[in-house]
Amino acid sequence: MPTYNEAGNLPGMADALLALPLAGLRLLVVDDSSPDGTGEIAEDCARRHQEMSGRRRMSVLHRTEKDGLGRAYAAGMAKAVEGGARYVLQMDADGSHPVEKVPELLGVALATDAGVVVGSRYVQGGTLSDAWGAHRKLLSRWANAYAGTILGTRVRDITGGFNLWRADAVHAVDLRSVDSAGYSFQVETKYRALRHGFDVMEVPIHFEDRTVGESKMSLMVQLESVVMPWKLRVRAARGSRGGPGPGPSASGPGPSA
């Protein structure tokens, strides 16, 4: 869970996640020295949960400066698999992603051959917050269609940030060589997994708007997201880092459809 200035959101998220009936669940927060003290608040949370359960269920990776969502995820996911995690879930701290869907994502991963299970806004049954105006909804849909069309994938929510990864798919993606500093990390990593022949399944979710704090989406980050699909496509055509495999295809709209 990457955080930058999520002091008002993080404790509630951590409590809700760690209350799930998933015995092996551990939470790793990756904080980029948030000026609002999210890193220290996360440490307090981790201590509280350790006192309650007698086990270390939550830890914090502190990074020295704001380095982008993609870099934070690369560091956090690498640490999770190095620590022996069999599955790694990516999840925003701002309450946009539904905690109660986590067991279902894991269930689908366990029951199928999927390397990645996407909590998807854009398969049948997926919904967006009513707080999003028509313009924002259209922009998000368009961004997905843009990346998906350039890359020729059938993943409906390729830009989505609520994804469960099997450890071998994380290894295949080779996080150290991922280019994206920002939000295009979501597209780049899913595309790499597809190129390596992993199935990507989608499970519908309701995506809520954040109620506390501010979005960190910047113009630079948006520009990177515009350019990245082209970079990935050119690279794949040259047969470089996109990886081996016959090319991307996704296993339809997922188990719900």
Ligand X SMILES: Nc1nc2c(ncn2[C@@H]2O[C@H](COP(=O)(O)OP(=O)(O)O)[C@@H](O)[C@H]2O)c(=O)[nH]1
Residue whose tokens read 């992603």: 97
**Smallest separation, CB 50 to ligand X (Å):** 22
Does residue 4 interact with ligand X by CB under 6 A? Answer: yes
**Smallest separation, CB 123 to ligand X (Å):** 19
Distance CA 57, CA 154 (A): 36
**Smallest separation, CB 59 to Mg ion (Å):** 23
- In the shown chain, the binding pattern of residues 215 to 254 toward ligand X, with x for contact by CB under 6 A and - for none, equals xxx-------------------------------------
Contact between 103 and 17 under an 8 Å Cβ cutoff? The reply is no
Of 94, 104, 188, 224, the residue at the interface with Mg ion (CB under 5 A) is: 94
**Smallest separation, CB 72 to ligand X (Å):** 3
DSSP string, 46-87: HHHHHHHHSS--EEEEE-SS---HHHHHHHHHHHHHHTT-SE
DSSP string, 182-194: STTHHHHHHHHHH
Q: Which is nearer to Mg ion, 96 or 159 (CB)?
A: 96
**Smallest separation, CB 88 to ligand X (Å):** 15
| The entry of Mg ion, ligand X, none that residue 131 binds, CB within 5 to 8 Å by partner kind | none
Does residue 6 interact with ligand X by CB under 6 A? Answer: yes
Does residue 30 interact with ligand X by CB under 6 A? Answer: yes
Provide the 10 A C-beta neighbour count for residue 139.
13
Contact between 198 and 173 under an 8 Å Cβ cutoff? The reply is no
Distance CA 143, CA 159 (A): 8
Does residue 92 interact with ligand X by CB under 6 A? Answer: yes
Residue whose tokens read 């016959």: 246
Residues within the interface to ligand X (CB under 6 A): 2-4, 6, 30-32, 66-69, 72, 92-94, 96, 210, 215-217
> Applying CB under 5 A, which residues contact Mg ion?
92, 94, 96, 210
